[in-house]
Amino acid sequence: GAVVSQHPSWVICKSGTSVKIECRSLDFQATTMFWYRQFPKQSLMLMATSNEGSKATYEQGVEKDKFLINHASLTLSTLTVTSAHPEDSSFYICSAPWTSGFYNEQFFGPGTRLTVL
Amino acid sequence: GNSVTQMEGPVTLSEEAFLTINCTYTATGYPSLFWYVQYPGEGLQLLLKATKADDKGSNKGFEATYRKETTSFHLEKGSVQVSDSAVYFCALATGANSKLTFGKGITLSVRP
pLDDT above 90: residue A3: no
Distance from CA of A42 to the nearest CA of B (A): 6
Size of interface A-B (CB pairs under 8 A): 49
- A61-114 pLDDT, tens per residue? 999 999 999 998 999 999 999 999 999 999 999 999 877 665 667 889 999 999
State whether B103 and A43 contact (CB < 8 Å): yes
Residue partners of A74: CB distance under 8 A and separation at least 6 = A25, A29, A30, A31, A52
Q: Which of A27, A16, A34 is nearest to A71 (CA)?
A: A34
The confidence score (pLDDT) of residue B28 equals 83
C-alpha gyration radius of chain A: 14
> In Å, how far are A19, A53, A68, A113, B102 from A89, measured between CA atoms?
11, 29, 16, 8, 21
Residue partners of A89: CB distance under 8 A and separation at least 6 = A114, A115, A116
Please tell me which residue, B64 or A45, carries the higher pLDDT value. B64
Which of B43, B97, B105 lies nearest to residue A43, judging by beta carbons?
B105
| Burial of residue A63, with CB atoms counted within 10 A of its CB: 0-12 exposed, 13-18 middle, 19 or more buried | exposed
The confidence score (pLDDT) of residue B29 equals 81
- All residues of chain A having their beta carbon less than 8 Å from the beta carbon of residue B107 are 41
Residue numbers of chain B with a pLDDT score lower than 70? 95-97
